[in-house]
Structure 1
Amino acid sequence: MTAQTAFTLINPQTKALAFKIFAFEDDSYFNQQKNYNYYSMLLVTKGKGRLTADFSEYEFTENGLISFSIYQPYKIRADGEFKGLLINFHPDFFCIHKHHDEVACNGVLFNNIYESPQVQLTESEMGLLTGLVDQLKVEMQNIAVAQYELMIAYLKIFLINASRIKLNMQSPKISNTEKEPFILKTLKDTIEEHYKSKHSPSDYADLLNISAKALNRISKTYFNKTLSNLISERIIIEAKRELYLTAKPVKMIAYELGFNDEFYFSRFFKINAEVSPQIYRDTVGFARADA
């Protein structure tokens, strides 16, 4: 008798996936680019390889947690053996924006343009997270009072622990010069301050008094992304947040993000998110019923 490898919960109102746990034995599921309207987290127990997320490539190894946001394009190619657990959850099931004060995973596990989507785990950390997944599996099969509430409680504990692990792992990258770490911090602060009004790499080069070529090299070295991609991803994260949490017209969101042309903004969004703003809102948006 083979062990059950997939546990799925369907939203009875929308008939769409609410929550899923899937045990994978190879990389066949991940060879084709994924781009779904739910959050994804992989616990890699065996294997190594390369993953592509948005426009960047990263290496991964076993005992790792890899996190992807809603409609974040990703693809994985393993180098040989590849085993682990995949967790998917739709924001209708658990909204990381609404529960940010409780779990604080937004900007850590998800929607963090400055860090790799992967975090290495110790054996005890992997044991803790896989143990929580086991508890979720048990609860998914237990049709009883407050089943959803208990599942969400376990998911919260998982997200809180995973966020703590990643925050503890993050440390400033050391450079051979004093200038680059200062510019890195300044670049992040400058993007956060100006991304709604300044969309060109040359704008940031001018603000930081450095050549665009040098600034792009620093961005590639430390963030594994071109400066243009870094800026675009920051704009898209805010656009997704607005589409998700508000019922603002797309035209208004475009204008607030520095786009005078709604159609240009829609093309920009689709290139980066691979879905249109309206499809994103229709399939994900918390405010879609009011839009």
Structure 2
Amino acid sequence: MTDKNTFTLVNPQTGNLAFKLFSFEENSSFDHIQRLNYYSLIWIKKGSGKVKVDFSEYDFTENQLLAFAPYQPFMLTAVDAIEGVVIHFHPDFFCIIKHHNEVACNGVLFNNIYEPPYVFIDETAKATFNMVIEQMKTEMQNPALAQYELLVSYLKIFLITASRLKKEQQPKELSQVDDNSAPFILQNLKSYIELHYKTKHSASDYADLLNISPKALAKITKNHFNKTLTDLIAERIIIEAKRELYLTNKAVKEIAFELGYDDEHYFSRFFKNNVAISPQMYRDTVGFARGMS
């Protein structure tokens, strides 16, 4: 704990940040590209601006919660002065993939290539978040028996509340697409990417499956997701690669082959271009090998 607004828990075994909660009243922490090795939840309480994440840029306003996965590049640019609260937590502290059945936030808050990286916070959620954050602060100021377990419980409440909100808001996002046929096409596109991302890596493959011209599909994809179809396919492959690197001890070559890449070196370049570090470095810093050491 460094000041009255910052609460930090460090993993004594690794020296890594385990959990951190802090308030901010300016944007110096996020005004340059971030590639953090932990999950980040940023609650914008006041102000507005733009967030760059992966290949996209979105507007954000007050009462929005931004969510970023480990090594996901992001940057905030304030238009009106921003204030808020941040929760960082390392996968060693709480792994959302391993605990997916409990919190159901993977693919909703985090690692969701189909939706913007934020959720709108209503009054009910705001009250819950404020209560949980105060409980977290109290626990971190007075560490006692089972502190870790209690903090994880509070974090779960926070994540579940946010995930439920985002699930409620997702259909509204989809209905805002201008083209009347677009929601139907986009839903099918999501399904096809989920089914075929290991074997079909080109945009034209999905245009063929949807019986639509590549140009028309590209326009719909860009309008709704603010990303190219190639970006969507790549991001889905990367999410799966991260899971395999994080949760298994499979060789990189084996993971590459399962994801449709015969050439391990090509796959490694593809991964590094999207994540900014190599598959082995990702595994060593947040993955299975680190957990076993």
When normalised by structure 1's length, the TM-score is: 0.96
Deviations 1:69-89 (A, max 9, x none): 111000000112100011100
Where does residue 212 of structure 1 map in the other structure? 214
Query: Does the aligned pair in 2 maintain the 1:63–1:123 contact within 8 Å?
Result: no
Structure 1: distance between partners of 2:52 and 2:187: 25
RMSD of aligned residue pairs (Cα, Å): 1.5
- Deviation for aligned residue 1:31: 0.8
- Deviation for aligned residue 1:165: 1.2
- Deviation for aligned residue 1:138: 1.1
Query: Does the aligned pair in 2 maintain the 1:53–1:73 contact within 8 Å?
Result: yes
Deviations 1:90-123 (A, max 9, x none): 0100111111111111111101110111111123
Deviation beyond 3 Å, 4+ runs, structure 1: 174-178, 286-291
Where does residue 157 of structure 2 map in the other structure? 157
Among 238, 241, 244, which residue is 2:243 paired with? 241
Where does residue 78 of structure 1 map in the other structure? 78
Where does residue 4 of structure 2 map in the other structure? 4
Letter of the 1:209 counterpart: N
Where does residue 256 of structure 1 map in the other structure? 258
Where does residue 268 of structure 2 map in the other structure? 266
5+ residue gaps in structure 1? none
Where does residue 21 of structure 1 map in the other structure? 21
Matched, 1:52 2:25: no
Letter of the 1:98 counterpart: K
Query: Does the aligned pair in 2 maintain the 1:38–1:71 contact within 8 Å?
Result: yes
- Deviation for aligned residue 1:13: 0.4
Letter of the 1:241 counterpart: R
Where does residue 279 of structure 1 map in the other structure? 281
Partner SS state of residue 30, structure 1: coil
Deviations 1:197-256 (A, max 9, x none): 111111111221211111111111111111111111000000000000000000100111
Q: Percent identity?
A: 60
5+ residue gaps in structure 2? none
Letter of the 2:227 counterpart: K
Query: Does the aligned pair in 2 maintain the 1:247–1:290 contact within 8 Å?
Result: no
* Gap change, CA 1:83 and 1:176, over 3 Å in 2: closer
Letter of the 1:275 counterpart: I
Query: Does the aligned pair in 1 maintain the 2:65–2:121 contact within 8 Å?
Result: yes
Query: Does the aligned pair in 2 maintain the 1:22–1:85 contact within 8 Å?
Result: yes
Structure 2: distance between partners of 1:175 and 1:153: 38
Structure 2: distance between partners of 1:286 and 1:47: 39
Letter of the 2:243 counterpart: R
Partner SS state of residue 199, structure 1: coil
Where does residue 111 of structure 2 map in the other structure? 111
- Deviation for aligned residue 1:27: 1.0
Where does residue 61 of structure 2 map in the other structure? 61
- Deviation for aligned residue 1:130: 2.3
When normalised by structure 2's length, the TM-score is: 0.95
Partner SS state of residue 28, structure 1: coil
